[in-house]
Structures are given as structure tokens and as C-alpha cells.
Structure 1
Amino acid sequence: MPASAPPPGGAGDDGLARRSVTTFEVGAQSVANVAPSAVIAFAPASMAASAGNGAWFSFFLAMAAVLAIAYCICVFARRRAGTGSLYAFTRLSLGPAGAFVTGWALLLGAVCIGSGSLAGAGYYTGRALDGIGVSAFTGVTGQVLLDVLLAAIAVRLTIASVRTAARVAATLEVVSIVLIVVVLLAVFVKSDHNLFDADQLTLSGSSLDGIVFAVVLGVLGFVGFEGAASLGAEATDPYRAIPRAVMGSALLAGLLYMFATYAQVVGFGGPDGLVASADPMDELAELSGLGFLKFFLHAGFAASFLAVVMACVTVAARLLFGMAREGVVPARLGRAHPTHKTPSTAIWAVTPFVAIPTVAVIVAGTNGLDATTYIDTIGVFGYMLSYVLVCLAAPLFVRKTGAKALAITWALGLIGAAAMVYVFYRNLWPIPESPLNVLPYIFVGALVVGLAGYGALHLRNPQQAAQAGTFADDAA
């Protein structure tokens, strides 16, 4: 942690393309981070397994909890903007130590979600190619080659331009969502069931426990919705664009999830048929007479996962960039590309931590989607911890500044924090099967490593450690 780090604070020439990213591109970052189409590919069936006809309602409850978290994030985003996202926000009420815990948890989350999504991108790319007769990429060697190639593409795009990366990610996601919506609309046309499915609308046969448990799965589908906050230094109008993107992406994803879950249950004639399906969207395409779209669906899912990889690299690299500018991590990570004005050094530093776990798990013989589940789960814990901290920090910040709506901020903050704690608890108990049972402890171990590093910095150079979370701009 060299003392020669660039001076802290958001002012000055940090080398980034400041105030160059449009409101649309800011929103695209959050949407790409959530990747609704990738979630739609497999989440509704898992939800229906426990919630039955109430699966869509579980997504509604999950969306409500996430919107409570989004409100707390927006409390800060309307007043502070920077590359550190929640890391810089929590500094305002939890101090440097609280900011570092938030930032390190978010960094772990972004890296792991990016790594797991890389596995998903490789899996669906292999399936898309297999569908047109190119079967060389479905085995372990082929999957590894695809993962490495896709990682290289993601890195190239994120280094070249944050605007290009955001636009590409948004385009990939929109095309994928359109294909999914086309198939699901065809479900209603072809299905013997009425558009108004009485069993689902009345939650027939669903239990409260089943619906609540499915909320746990539903919340995981929103992780990363705050991704736009990492573009605070580069957004043209950060104090308005970022809050809109954070709230809008959570709401958009929630509405898509409810529609997709409802339509899939209708298409299979009930939740049992959906749960029994090995590949719901493929089967629905066949049932709806749109089997010829399967290649495009697989390509769309692959594109959606690749969009997540790019979005996560963007978040993680900008976190490291901000920490480096403060001197909390090595200063060389705070260097921007002289031409592209992106945090290229930090992007290169993040990339091995995204790619190597994917390759290692695939080489060990794990199926691509299973690899996504395992690695993503570790990342989800990181995001959840950062969400808990920002939910607790928001009302403290409102009280500190004397702003209005303290009561509602406390209420929503506690709801958001409680939801995240409950989700974490349900990942610990009942004890899941291996290897899911060890994943929380892997996360805790990685968290401890970061805290130990920060503790060592605090002992060696307390003034440097106290800069954590300061690399940001504040509204006048």
C-alpha cells in the first residue's frame, strides 16, 4: 500500500472519461448486471418447486424487498457519485471501516458473479453451436476454450470504452428479452388455459412457507441491480441518472420475472409440469410451434451471461480503481488507459480472478450451469452483505444530515436488511447438500482475508486506511 498513491477525493484528473456516459448507458449497466433473461431461463422452475401456483407472487415479494434496498441506495446516490458504488456511499455514515467492509464484500460479489456468469456464457454458447451441428465445444476442452475466448471479448470491450461496453451489453440483453417474450406470448396463444389463470391468481394450493422460501430464490435474481452506481464518475448526470437506473432496473426485472413465471406455469398446464421440465424455455418454444428459435434462445442466454461478465468486470475494476486512488490498495491499480480513459490496469487485475475459477471448476468436471450456480452463490453473499450495510447506513445518513423521510428510510432499511439476513440464513439452514453447504464458509474466508489486509494497513498507516470510501464527488 504505497504512500505514493494519488491524492484522495473525486476532484482532479483521474484519467477517466468523466461525464461522458449517457443516462441510457447508465441504465444499461444495471440491467446488464441483473441479466433478466438469464434468470428467466431457469429460476421460475425452481420457484415453482416450492411455491407452486404462488411462484409469481414470490417474485413480487422479492421485488418489494429489493425496491426497499434500492430506496436506501438512492438516498446516497442523489447526493454522492463515484466509481466505488456502495463502498463510497456507506462511508458517509459507517466511516472508513464500514466502507471497506462494504466495498470488499461488493468486490467479492462482482468477481464471483462475473466468474459464474462466464461459465453460463460458455455453456449456452456451446449449446447454441451444438444446435447447428458444431458439437466440438460441448466437452470440457471446448467449454474451457469458449470461456477463455468469451473472457477475452469481455475484457476487450470493457477496456475499449465504458460506453461501448454498456451499449453492447444492453443490446445483447434486449435481444434476448425480446426472444423470450415472443415465446411466452406464443404460450398464451397456443395454451388451452385462459390468460387469467384462476389457480395462479388465487395462489391455489400454495402454502405460506413455500411462497416465503421461494422469495429467497427470487431475491437472488435481482443481485447487481445497483451496478449503475459504479459509473458515478463517468455519468453525465449522475445524481439523477443513477437513482433512476437503480430503481428502474429492479422494477423492470421484477415485472419480467412475474410475467415469465406466470406464463411458464400456464404453458406447462400447472407448476408440476414446469418443475418436471429439464429445459423450460426450449420445451415451451417447441410446444408453441417456435422450435426454430431454440438456437436464438441459447445464443440470447449466452449473450445475457456475457453481458453480466462485462458489467461485473466494470463494477469490480472501478472499485479497485477508487481504492487505489485512495491508497487503500496498490496505486498502480488506479491508472487509467491514456486513450480509452477506462481503468485498464484494474480490469486486467480483475480478469484472472474472473476466468480462473470458471476454468478450474469446468476442468474438475462440473457442468456449466452447475458451475454458474456454485460460483454465483459465493458472489451473492458478497452482494447481500453490502446491501445489508447500505440499508443500515441510509437511515443513519438521513438522521445525520437532517433530511426528511427518516421514518420511511428506517422502515425500508430494516425491511431490506432483514430480507438479506433471512436469505443468508436459509442458505445455511437447513444444511444444503455438498458443495452448497461449504460455499458460505468460502465467502467468509475470502471476507476475512480482505479485512485482515485492511487491519494491517490500519496498523501500519492509519491515515491511509482512513481514506477508504473518499474517492467520490458530492452534490453541492
Structure 2
Amino acid sequence: MSTVSTPATDHSGGLARRSVSPFEVGAQSVANVAPSAVIAFGPAQMAASAGNGAWFSFFVGTVIVLVIAFSIVTFARRRAGVGSLYSLVRPALGPTGSFVTGWALFLGVIGIAAGSLCGAGFFLSTFLGHFGVTALDGILGQIILDLLLLAGAIFLTITSVRVSARVSATLEVISIIAITVTLVIIYFKSGNVFDSAQFTLTGSTFGGIVFAVVIAILGFVGFESAASLGAESKDPFRAIPRAVMGSAILAGFLYIFATYSQVAQFKGGAAALAKSASPMDDLTSQWGLGFLQPVLDFGFCASFFAVVVACITVGARILFGMSNEGILPAFLGHAHPRHKTPSKAIWLIVPIVAIPAIAVLSTGVAPLSATTYIDTVGVFGYMVSYALVCVGAPFFLKKLGVKRVLLATVMGVIGVASLAYVFYANVFPVPAYPFNTLPYYFLGGLVIGIVGYAILRARHPEVAERAGTFADDSAAVE
């Protein structure tokens, strides 16, 4: 298939149209996934249920995510807009389906941004603690650090999407390099390169491996965020699909490598790793590399901060697109006159991100626990939006009269079934407090948005009908 962009209307709304390079588009997705942040704790969580099969669970999770990516790319090769998945699904699911997809994704990015802000603040204080600075370790100190980090995120996202993407990618690359180098050094020190127990899945059970797949899939959320740069990308119909697929493949490779490595090198194996509260710090201490801990902690802080920046970028553009369609107040659709970024939407999102982070921390919840709780709420939003994309992809192709409808249907069914299982595993059996309440926070937010849209549809149907239309379609030749 060859794809040529032939938009009839400029759907940039004053943003820096066709200015973002393919590298920067890819950087947006990589920053939103933040592999380093997942590597910090994911392998230990996986090992708790899958044991020596933890790496294999990540492999299965990667395959499932690539199936979901196939559905996203099905749209992204032919349609591009500032609203990410919200804009993509409009031709297949209509205005109502488009709004629900966009609103769920918006709740997702807010949750992940707020949770990651808590993580960034914690690791920044931990990094400073290595140099004797402990005054910011308490609740007030964590809130102050979070607000300072949020101020930095505001500056980056308003100044330039290109700068924010490059800075986020640079921070993530530094963190990935630090983790990889650390693991390679430990390989040489331990000599345990080929761990037969992991290759044979010794002691692992089918149920444990399958449950760990749930955690694995959650580690990929945000891989599609390059789609929010549809109006600003220089070559959206090529760059965005490549970024979506590329970020999923890169993250999957890193997760499998890091999980295998941590299980192989951790003294006591998978069982000991599962009990560690800070796996990478414990691993470096075990092998006499404690001097690397400040570097790793800075890297984890950078990774979480990159997520905050990437999520604000996506969320602001969803609001920007909805505003230009008349769904939201007009002022949110104004681009900065000099920087050509959705500055008004960014300023609105900032307190929405800060409030849940500050509220949870103020109750005395540990920062990383706050990250887990708030992120979990956000993940539900991503899952709903991904599922709707999987549902819509075959209908989209059928409407266009192009090939691969059957393949898209099979992929869509696998994607929806996998996401449904992930949701089921998070709510049944009913988990302990506060995890048993988290789905209801998300459902409450989702209902508020849907009710608001229903009221708009009843009062101003012509406005509601515009949902998801602020986008460009390609002239695709199959």
C-alpha cells in the first residue's frame, strides 16, 4: 500500500503543522511507555506469580500488545489527528463511539500522569538522599518536589512539542542505558548468562504465567501516544504507525531482557526477587555495585518525569481537538501564538494532574503506593480505548472496501478478549482495599463524561455529531 496525504482542510488549529520529525514522533511513544519505570518494578511483580516463567509472560504480553497495535495502525495509516485514538475511530464507531474512546483515553492519561508524578518525586528525593539531602522525604517535601517537576513539564510542553519529545526521549535513553549497562556488568560478575531454570520454566505454573501476562500488558500502556501528533508530524501516515509498532517492540525486548536478567542474577532467584521492594537497588548491592544506585535512581526519576510530559502532551491535544469541534469551550482550542502548542489546554490539565497526586500523598500513602493506585485507575481508561479501537478496525476496513478485513477481525477479537481478561483479573476475585475501589473511580469519571455528552447530544445534536472529525484522512491506494 502507498499512502499520500491529501487533506481537504487544515485540521491543525494553529499548531505547528507538519513540523515534528519521525524521530520525535517515535520519542513521544517511547517516553509515554517509559520502559525504565516498568523495569524498576515489573520483573519483581511478574516473578511473584510466574517465577522462572516471568520473562515468558512478558513475551506473551508483547505478542498481545502487538495485536492491539495492529488495530491501531490499521487506522493510523489512513487517518491522523490531534485527538489520538479519539480522532482515529470516528469513521468506524461514529461520534458517540469516538467520544467514549477519547474520554476513556483522557482519563487514562490523567491517571498515568498523576501516578507517574508521584513516582518521579519519590525517586528525585531518593536521588537527593544519596547526597545527604533528606529534608524533602516527608509528605510536604514530596508534594513540593511534585509541583516543581510539574512546573518543568509545563515549560517543556508549552515551549515546543519537539523539545519536549527530545528531552523526554533523552531522559528515557539515559535511564535505559544505565539499567542495561548495570545488568551487563552483573552478568560478567556472576557468570550466569544461560539460566536453564528460566529456559525450561522450572517451577512455573500455567495459571501463574497467565496471571503475570496481565501485569505485562499493563506495562505497555501509552505506546500509541504518537498518534496525538497527527497534525504536527511531518509524515503522519508513515511515522505514526512506525512509532506505535516500534515502541511496542522496543519495550517488549527491554522487558524480556531485564526480567530474564534480574531473575538470573538476583541471589535467591525468582522467589527472592519477588520479595524485593527495590529490585535494582538490591541487585546492585548484592554484586558490590552500590555506587551505581544514584545513577539508577536519577534514571527512574527521569523516566517517570518523561511519562508526565508525554501524558500532558496527549491529554492537551485531546481537549484541543474536542474544543475545535465545539464539544468543549472554544478557549481550549487556541494555540500559543509563538510556540504553536495547545497552551490553554495544557494549563487546564495541570491542576487535573496535580489534584489526585497531592490528595493521595496528603493521606500519608507512600509515594510508590500512590503511583500504583492512581496508575491503576488510569490503566482502565487505556484498556477501554484500546478495546474500542480493536472493535472498530475491521468495520473501518470494510467501510473502505479494502483488504485484510478478516485479519483485522481476528486481531480485533484477540485484542478485545485479552483486554477483557486483564480487566476481569483486576476485579475478580475482589482484591483487598483500596484496589477493590479503584475500578469505581474510573467508572465514575467515565459516566460523568458520557452523561455530559448525552446532554450535549440532546441539546445540540449538530455539535455532538462533530466528535472525532478534527482530523485528516489520507488518500490510500491498496
TM more than 0.5: yes
SS across alignment from 2:451:
helix
| Residue in 2 that maps onto 1:223 | 221
SS across alignment from 1:205:
coil
State the Cα distance separating 1:287 from its structure 2 match: 2.7
Paired residue type of 2:288: G
SS across alignment from 2:402:
coil
Paired residue type of 2:218: L
Distance 2:416 2:128 in 1: 43
More moved, 81-90 vs 379-388: 81-90
SS across alignment from 2:103:
helix
Distance 2:364 2:12 in 1: 47
Per-residue CA deviation, residues 120-150 of structure 1 (Å, 9 max, x unaligned), is 0000001000111000111111101000100
State the Cα distance separating 1:288 from its structure 2 match: 3.1
| Residue in 2 that maps onto 1:5 | none
| Residue in 1 that maps onto 2:252 | 254
Closer, same or farther in 2 for the Cα pair 1:13/1:369, shift >3 Å? closer
Distance 1:276 1:65 in 2: 27
**1:306-321 matched pairs, under 5 angstroms:** 306-321=305-320
Per-residue CA deviation, residues 225-244 of structure 1 (Å, 9 max, x unaligned), is 00100000000000000000
| Residue in 1 that maps onto 2:4 | none
SS across alignment from 1:473:
strand
Paired residue type of 1:34: V
**1:94-173 matched pairs, under 5 angstroms:** 94-173=93-172
1:399 aligns with 2:380: no
State the Cα distance separating 1:89 from its structure 2 match: 1.1
User: Does the CA contact (< 8 Å) of 1:191 and 1:266 recur in 2?
Assistant: no
User: Does the CA contact (< 8 Å) of 2:119 and 2:304 recur in 1?
Assistant: yes
| Residue in 2 that maps onto 1:291 | 290
Question: Equivalent of 1:240, from 238, 241, 256?
Answer: 238
Paired residue type of 2:319: L
Paired residue type of 1:282: D
Question: Equivalent of 2:211, from 192, 210, 213?
Answer: 213
User: Does the CA contact (< 8 Å) of 1:48 and 1:274 recur in 2?
Assistant: yes
User: Does the CA contact (< 8 Å) of 1:183 and 1:288 recur in 2?
Assistant: no
Per-residue CA deviation, residues 134-180 of structure 1 (Å, 9 max, x unaligned), is 00111111101000100010011000000000000000000000000
Distance 1:211 1:276 in 2: 18
State the Cα distance separating 1:13 from its structure 2 match: 6.1
Q: TM-score, structure 1 length as denominator?
A: 0.97
Distance 2:274 2:304 in 1: 23
Paired residue type of 1:378: V
| Residue in 1 that maps onto 2:419 | 420
User: Does the CA contact (< 8 Å) of 1:118 and 1:305 recur in 2?
Assistant: yes
Distance 2:12 2:165 in 1: 23
Distance 2:63 2:136 in 1: 40
User: Does the CA contact (< 8 Å) of 2:12 and 2:82 recur in 1?
Assistant: no
Per-residue CA deviation, residues 243-287 of structure 1 (Å, 9 max, x unaligned), is 000000000000000000000001114201211222110121223
User: Does the CA contact (< 8 Å) of 1:10 and 1:470 recur in 2?
Assistant: no
SS across alignment from 2:89:
helix
User: Does the CA contact (< 8 Å) of 2:11 and 2:472 recur in 1?
Assistant: no
| Residue in 1 that maps onto 2:60 | 61
Distance 2:472 2:140 in 1: 46
| Residue in 1 that maps onto 2:175 | 176
| Residue in 1 that maps onto 2:198 | 200
Distance 1:288 1:403 in 2: 56
**1:342-421 matched pairs, under 5 angstroms:** 342-421=341-420
Number of aligned pairs? Answer: 468
SS across alignment from 1:475:
strand
Distance 2:210 2:285 in 1: 32
SS across alignment from 1:456:
helix
1:441 aligns with 2:435: no
Identity percentage over the alignment? 61
Distance 2:75 2:470 in 1: 14
| Residue in 1 that maps onto 2:3 | none
| Residue in 2 that maps onto 1:267 | 265
| Residue in 2 that maps onto 1:6 | none
Q: TM-score, structure 2 length as denominator?
A: 0.97
For structure 1, the 5+ residue unaligned runs are 1-8
Paired residue type of 1:399: K
Distance 1:315 1:125 in 2: 24
Give the CA RMSD over aligned residues: 1.1
1:471 aligns with 2:470: yes
Paired residue type of 2:137: T
SS across alignment from 1:403:
coil
| Residue in 1 that maps onto 2:276 | 277
User: Does the CA contact (< 8 Å) of 2:20 and 2:162 recur in 1?
Assistant: yes
For structure 2, the 5+ residue unaligned runs are 1-7
Per-residue CA deviation, residues 336-361 of structure 1 (Å, 9 max, x unaligned), is 00000000000001110101111111
Per-residue CA deviation, residues 7-32 of structure 1 (Å, 9 max, x unaligned), is xx952661100000000000000000
